[in-house]
Structure 1
């Protein structure tokens, strides 16, 4: 069987934790920061897990993780 290629844009946006879960960064942290509170900007720096329904599409785009 042929090898599956990793989608490079997805590999830069997501990472896999030691338990096998996919992690992503929050969005909305790149511009229009004046109107956002400091607390909100602090919380946007964190990482979060992805939803269960997105896991199957990420398994296809990141095959060897």
Structure 2
């Protein structure tokens, strides 16, 4: 079997947890932060899990995750 290629864009955005779930960054934390409350910015800084319905697609993009 040939080696499988990793989608490098996805590799930069997703990481696996110890139990095999996939972590992601939250959206809306890139610009225009001045008018967002500090509580909201702090909440957006935390990592969250990829939904299980999307995890299959992410795993196809990252065969060696």
Q: TM > 0.5 between the two? A: yes
SS in 2 for 1:23: strand
Q: How many residues align?
A: 65
1:62 equivalent in structure 2 = 62
1:45 equivalent in structure 2 = 45
Shift of 1:43: 0.5
Gaps of 5+ in 2: none
Tell me the TM-score normalized by structure 2: 0.94
Larger strand proportion of the pair = 1
Tell me the TM-score normalized by structure 1: 0.94
1:32 equivalent in structure 2 = 32
Moved over 3 A (4+): none
Q: Deviations over 1:11-54 (max 9, x none)?
A: 11000001000000111111011110010001010000011111
